[in-house]
Amino acid sequence: MNSDKITDKDILFMKKTLALAKRGEGMTSPNPAVGAILVKNEVIVGQGFHKRAGTPHAEVIALLEAGKKAEGSTLYVNLEPCCHYGKTPPCVNRIIQNKIKRVVIGMKDPNPLVNGKGIAALKKAGISVLTGVLETDAKKINEIFCKYITGGLPFVTMKAAITLDGKIASYSGSSRWITGEASRKFVHKLRFIHDAVMVGIGTVLNDDPLLTCRFSGKKEKPISRIIVDSRGRIPLNARVLNPATRHRTIIASTTGLPERKYNALEQKGAEIILTESDNGRVNILKLFTILGQRGICSVFLEGGGTLNSSIINNRLADKLFLFIAPKIIGGKEAPTWVEGKGIEDINAALMCTFSRQKRFGDDIMLEYYFNK
């Protein structure tokens, strides 16, 4: 229960806190993105954000910057302060030791090791606690962390670039480029905030992509590349198998993968995940369970119609970015972004919830959440 009411100042400083948290987005996995601001007499005396896993938490950085000014101040933080020992000591202890008067929190930490215990410890120490300030925004910043920490499965963001008539390529497979350069730059930004990018073998055979993260303004981030390849068709000279890229490559195949190809891929430095065959294809649900067990918290899916259909049918997709280019391809043999058998009754269609839209030149980007 909140100890006081939300004021306009609380909202103002929480917005600043959320902006700080976003500066660590994409770099903190498996930890959440957290910002912290210390305010005394309506003046910011210390601030910080979590930069990457294993480094000091946002609250600690803010407290160090504030020094003695921290005493009697209000701490704004978008996520409940931790109260357990991990790679760093509990933030709650530092907050209490520095005699913080009031703590304003965006959202409760869903981590079972915390989940209200941090708030309880602060209150027990006599600190006033206000929760739920801009909670919806706080949850969106850490939606990846929230899903992974509570269920162990990666958060899945699906991206598709389509023409006005819903095609992702011509009937011959030609697909470069459907969208413009501005859209493609934004896609690299989206890759940056995820742990891995996933494609089907068709994308590798048609385009031979690097699948790296080239987001300007940030240092190059090593990202896992996951290739779903049920029959082991990936060429050994594919660019994703080039060790010079210094990115982790995972080949997801079935137990029917020939031993010779398995060994050749391992020699190329690839990790191999094998699942039992699901009608000749990789068992997608089992694959994502294994990915979660291996510490991959989020997957940016840039698949074709077959892989997308499998992900959707297994209810694994969480978010969709649909880029629509002002082009018309036509042709009933031209691939669409969701294929497979499809549904028989329109009333069984999977519904999505609209989040936002944005223009990139002549392209339109639509963001949706998949209804579970």
Banded model confidence at residue 16, pLDDT cuts 50, 70, 90:
very high
* CA distances in angstroms from 176 to 102, 168, 334, listed in the order given: 54, 10, 14
Q: How many CA atoms lie within 13 A of 371 on its CB side?
A: 7
Record the tokens describing residue 29, joined without a space: 């996995």
What local confidence, expressed as pLDDT, does residue 87 receive? 66
Average pLDDT of the chain? 92
* pTM of the shown model: 0.91
Using one digit for the tens of pLDDT, what is the confidence trace for 292-329?
999 999 999 998 999 999 999 999 999 999 999 999 99
247 or 30: which leads in pLDDT? 30
Average pLDDT over every residue of 38-62: 94
What does the pLDDT average to over 229-241?
Answer: 95
Average pLDDT over residues 26-33: 93
Out of 59-63, 86-90, 263-267, pick the least confident. 86-90
Bridge partner list, 36 = 48, 77
- Which pLDDT does position 83 carry in this prediction? 83
Q: What mean pLDDT comes out for the span 84-110?
A: 89
pLDDT per position as a tens digit, 260-278: 999 999 999 999 999 999 9
Which residues carry out catalysis? 59
Q: Starting from the edge strand earliest in sequence, which strands make up the sheet with 102-107, in order?
A: 43-49, 35-40, 74-79, 102-107, 128-130
- Give the chain's count of helices (H) and strands (E): 11, 16
Give the pLDDT confidence of 242-261 residue by residue, as tens digits: 887 778 999 999 999 999 99
Q: From the centroid of its chain, how far is CA 113?
A: 21
The pLDDT confidence band at residue 3, using thresholds 50, 70 and 90, is low
Give the pLDDT score at 8: 94
pLDDT at 4: 77
Structure tokens at 36: 């912290």
pLDDT reported for residue 41: 93
Give buried/exposed letters for 194-221 (b at 16+ CB in 10 A, else e): bbbbbbbbbbbeeeebebbbebeeeeeb
Taking residue 304's Cβ as centre, other Cβ atoms within 10 Å add up to 23
**What is the tens place of the pLDDT at every residue in 160-174?**
999 999 999 998 888
Q: Distance between CA atoms of 36 and 61, rounded to whole angstroms?
A: 8
Listed residue (195, 188, 196, 194) closest to 216, CA to CA = 188
What is the per-residue pLDDT for 243?
A: 80
Residues written for the chain:
372
Which pLDDT belongs to residue 340?
87
Q: Please tell me whether the peptide bond between 177 and the residue prior to it is cis, using omega within 30 degrees of 0.
A: yes
Write the pLDDT tens digit of every residue in 116-135: 999 999 999 999 999 999 99
| Percent of the chain's residues with pLDDT above 70 | 97
Q: How confident is the model at residue 1 (pLDDT cuts 50, 70, 90)?
A: very low
